[in-house]
Amino acid sequence: MEESILCSKCSTPLGAEDVFCPNCGYPEKADQSKRDKYKYRIKIKQDVVDDAKKKLKSVKVVLYIIIASNVLFGLSYLSEEATFVDGISSLVAALIFVGCLVWVNKKPLVGILAAFALWILLQLSVVLVDPALLFQGLFVKIIFIVIFIKGISSAKDYQEYSTQLKEMNAN
Ligand SMILES: [Zn+2]
């Protein structure tokens, strides 16, 4: 009986006809040029992942700003009895955004979607109380929205391509 060759990346047995590993796609029995192409495909995916990581950093900066301003406003509201409850809710919001930040590090897409939804809700609740506040800091709000939306697409890329890379490099 012929001894079967195992994929050197993921140890899947290769059939006699298999040039590429049926499990991870590694060109086990391919010539050098095919191996180079395989490495190149990995490099392209790696570049997408690295680029997405950079863009996710902007989302984290936005979250830090939101957290910091909620803490600052929260603490100043706490000092006056009339705004004490608002102070508490600001601090609670800050805490939830910290949770989102942790989430962004682990599951970027879910984390960003949660943070974005929460932030929009907070903006809406403010505007419902006083519609004129919609225009307060409008420029910053628009920048935040753009960064959030770009972040969502980067997070998708990041998750999709890092999963593909994991499969290709499976050991
Ligand atoms: Zn394999």
Q: Which domain holds residue 89?
A: 55-157
pLDDT tens-digit readout, 123-148:
998 899 889 888 888 999 999 999 99
Q: Say how many Å lie between the CA of residue 170 and the centre of ligand 1.
A: 7
Q: Say how many Å lie between the CA of residue 129 and the centre of ligand 1.
A: 59
pLDDT tens-digit readout, 53-99:
988 999 999 999 999 999 999 999 998 889 999 899 999 999 999 99
Is 88 within a domain? Answer: yes
Q: CB within 8 A of 32, min separation 6: which ones?
A: none
Q: Which of 117, 130, 116, 145 is nearest to 86 (CA)?
A: 130
Is 136 within a domain? Answer: yes
What residues sit around ligand 1, an ion, with C-beta below 5 angstroms? 7, 9-10, 12, 21, 23-24, 26
Structural domains in the chain (count)? 1
- Report residue 170's pLDDT band, with 50, 70 and 90 as the boundaries: low
Is 126 within a domain? Answer: yes
Cα–Cα distance between 59 and 122 in angstroms, integer? 17
Q: Say how many Å lie between the CA of residue 46 and the centre of ligand 1.
A: 19
pLDDT at residue 3, as a whole number = 66
Is 164 within a domain? Answer: no
pTM for the full model?
0.78
pLDDT at residue 2, as a whole number = 56
